[in-house]
Amino acid sequence: MDDTVLLTGAGGSVGTAILEGIGDAYDWRLLFHNPPVDEPDHPYLVGDVIDEETMAEACEGVGAIIHLAGDPRRDAPWDSVLENNIHGTKVTYQAAVDAGVDRLVFASSNHAVGHFETDRRPKLYRVEGEFTLDGTELPRPGNFYGVSKVAGETLGRYYHDEYGVDVCNIRIGNLTRNHPPVDYERGQAMWLSYRDCAHLHDCALQADYDYEIVYGISDNDRKYYSIERAKEVLGYEPRDNSAEFE
């Protein structure tokens, strides 16, 4: 992709992983909620995704968007996720459509399906566990943050069907810079390394698809999220495995 890519929420951990891994591969425009401490290597704006004027400016001349911005707290209160995550995603999609952007990669979350774990833990976190989620299941959010991610996926479905935007929803697992916590089975099962995170988002920018929901984890021995759809549709080839650190 030769067009500019807008990265919202550029200052968070996912944005950091993406820029560290594929920062030289694209012409980026970054959106920060707060002024960055260090001067970025790419053009940037400071503003809020709920602000229509900010998003109109951010999307001008853009070919694709990776939308990460929002309240990332898993215990975020309803008022915050409603405003920042749900309404902010709607504003982002509308700005994308108004600007003629035809692709949006949305940072969804494992929390969109959190209650699938409720009656199955801890067995599903283990290698011998047979239960698997592949993205075709109905959502079962485990908190209001998860509800907001389900809403974001549904907004993407609407904007794809109504306006033809290509949408890839990535249900991101447990992203850590180095290794997963060795004494935390759940964290190992849903671990996503920084380089696999960057590679997966690179694939989502490049692949041919219409509307997709995929899981964003590394190729862990322990896993109850299938990454087969990400491999098949996006060409995802993860390099890391949490078992290497056990």
Q: Where are the beta strands (DSSP E) in the chain?
A: 4-8, 28-32, 44-46, 62-67, 103-109, 166-172, 174-176, 191-193, 211-216
Q: What are phi and psi of 19, to 5 degrees?
A: -70, -35
Cite the DSSP H helix spans in 62-189: 78-80, 88-99, 144-163, 185-189
What φ, ψ does residue 170 adopt, rounded to 5°?
-110, 110
Does the N-terminal peptide bond of residue 180 adopt cis geometry, omega within 30 degrees of 0? no
Of the residues 145, 194, 225, 236, only one is catalytic, namely: 145
Q: Cα dihedral angle (121, 122, 127, 131), rounded to 10 degrees?
A: -10
Side-chain-side CA neighbours of residue 43 (13 Å): 11
Q: Dig out the tokens for 1 from the structure.
A: 């992709």
145 labelled catalytic: yes
Which tokens belong to 222?
Answer: 């322990």
Catalytic (active-site) positions: 145
